[in-house]
A = this chain, B = another copy of it.
Amino acid sequence: MLKTRQILGCSSGLVSHRWKPYSSTGSRQVSFISISTCSKPLLLSSSSSSSSTIIPTTTTLLLPGSSPRRTRFGAFSMSSAHSGPNPGGPSSSVAVHSAGNARKINFCQWCGGPTKHEIPDGEEKIRAICTVCDKIAYENPKMVVGCLIEHDNMVLLCKRKIQPSYGLWTLPAGYMEIGESATEGAIRETWEEACAEVEVLSSFAQLDIPLIGQTYVIFLARLKKPHFSPGPESSECRLFALDDIPFDSLAFSSMVVTLKLYAEDVRAGKLKFHYGIINKKPGTSPSDIHAYTLDYHLQS
């Protein structure tokens, strides 16, 4: 999966002008932030709540116990005080409009000029803008790609030998790289973490985690050869029957969701494609990977 430390929970694109303004209010249809009219504020609504909160755009959303400055990736860690990357779980704090992250960008990557943090013309979010060359540093969510490998009615899990979530179980997965497709990235990660050659069979899930700027894309796959062994980041790789999946020892909420959906599908006799949004339950511990809601769940 990932080796050590990641500073931002999102990727930053570097662009010299990009977004038009957008206007929005909330709709109960969408569980987190959605858009239904032309008015300016964003409306935060929860599928599990009847109340909604209007949040001015470019405002940082704080969950209980969070800090607007805690945009370092370590703040998103879910199991103990890990400072490493966390492709998996809800966060205790995040700047919903990325203002917090944009403010951490102090210099232009191209010319080295100092940045200012303002809302560019025609936009609604604070961005880091170079005061010398005027380029804007944009940030976008990252994709984490992985494989759910079926073999003899079991699934292959890897025990993490690195932080975060050292000693906990995960599907092989990691950040998609430039120049590869999602399937290629998932196959690569599976090779790296489980030394397993796999064939991707179908798409299984897309799980967005807006709080940490990640989208998980998980594919169903099969072993091309019945061989696997721990890669450098895994201490153990093992096949688990559905009833034996260690749900209390999984590394990330995304893995809990994926494996629960898979088990349900298998037991129902039909594998589907799932889309959903993983939101952290307010007020819960970042280390509690079961303290989430799966919102906007769509099945194909």
Contacts and interface: CB of A to CB of B under 8 A. Distances in A.
Interface residues of A, number: 102
B213 A178 contact: yes
A5 B200 CA distance: 36
A293 interface: no
Count copies of this chain in the complex: 2
B29 A3 contact: no
A284 interface: no
A291 B181 CA distance: 19
A122 interface: yes
Contact of A178 (B7, B85, B112, B140): B140
Contact of A14 (B12, B98, B111, B213): B12
A17 B35 contact: no
Given A180-B210, A184-B30, A3 B18 contact: yes
Given A98-B178, A203-B273, A13 B16 contact: no
Interface stretch (A62-70, A152-160, A185-193, A242-250): A185-193
Interface string A152-190: 000000000000000000000001111111111001100
A173 to B, nearest CB: 13
21 contacts: A3-B18, A3-B20, A5-B17, A6-B16, A7-B14, A7-B15, A12-B12, A24-B191, A27-B197, A38-B191, A95-B179, A106-B109, A107-B111, A140-B143, A141-B177, A143-B143, A178-B213, A181-B208, A181-B296, A182-B208, A183-B208
Given A3-B19, A5-B16, A97 B300 contact: no
Contact of A188 (B35, B96, B272): B35
A37 B227 CA distance: 12
A208 B200 CA distance: 15
A58 to B, nearest CB: 11
A138 interface: yes
A133 B138 CA distance: 22
A80 interface: no
A78 interface: no
A206 to B, nearest CB: 7
A8 interface: yes
A300 B298 contact: no
Contacts of A142: 11, 13, 140
A101 interface: yes
